[in-house]
Amino acid sequence: MKNQRPKQSSIMYQLMNYERNRTLLEQIPHIRYLDMAIVFYYWKKEDDVMEGAYLISREEMKFWNYNLEDLERAAAYNTPRRLPVTFQPMEELIRELLGEETVQREDAEKPWLPMYILTNQEKLFGASVMLYPQVLWAVSQSLQDDLYVLPSSIHECIIVPFSVKCSQKELQEIVTDINKTQVPEEEILSDRVFIYHKKGDYIGF
């Protein structure tokens, strides 16, 4: 990659955990975001077949005569357009994966906690959709509520309406359990639960 300057139209961003990737982040351009880091990669896709996603290093950025602002500007434009948002109830996704009869049989007596999956169409680095302009605002307007944002991996977030009868501590336990039992180490995004406030349009802890 070092000898081939990528087109700005192929530069994208993703989120990764800051503390778990401190050594890597010393070598790559990044922007702090909450307890995460926004990093940049070169998206190579030919004839609708993905060939690779390559993290951009500081050395490559300098060699290509880009700066951090160039990467941020290009990625902010490209990522939402090339990787559009998808948003669906978790129950719907589980039914798609397991089948209607299986879900009805296994969970007939279990009430569903209203959870939604927020990712992109490729389901690759999909947690970064929380950075897309007005995405969280649009979700909060759709649900008519503030939002708990559970970073379940670098590939997706779980959205829970703020008014559900579930405490932030209980949701924190869900994130911790998912990270320990279901997510590969390199795909863990955060151990925190974020809150998105539609009044003011901001996200925090």
**Is the whole model's pTM more than 0.95, yes or no?**
no
Contact 35, 18 (CB under 8 A): yes
61 in the same domain as 90: no
102 in the same domain as 199: yes
Contact 151, 157 (CB under 8 A): yes
Residue 96, pLDDT above cutoff 80: no
pLDDT above 90: percentage of residues in the chain? 76
Q: Which domain holds residue 46?
A: 8-82
Q: Which residue has the tokens 């090339």?
A: 82
On whether residue 25 sits in a domain, the answer given is yes
117 in the same domain as 190: yes
174 in the same domain as 124: yes
Domain count of the chain?
Answer: 2
Contact 170, 106 (CB under 8 A): no
Lowest mean pLDDT among 1-5, 31-35, 174-178, 191-195: 1-5
116 in the same domain as 155: yes
35 in the same domain as 94: no
CA angle 131, 70, 65 (to 5 degrees): 145
On whether residue 55 sits in a domain, the answer given is yes
DSSP code for 21:
G
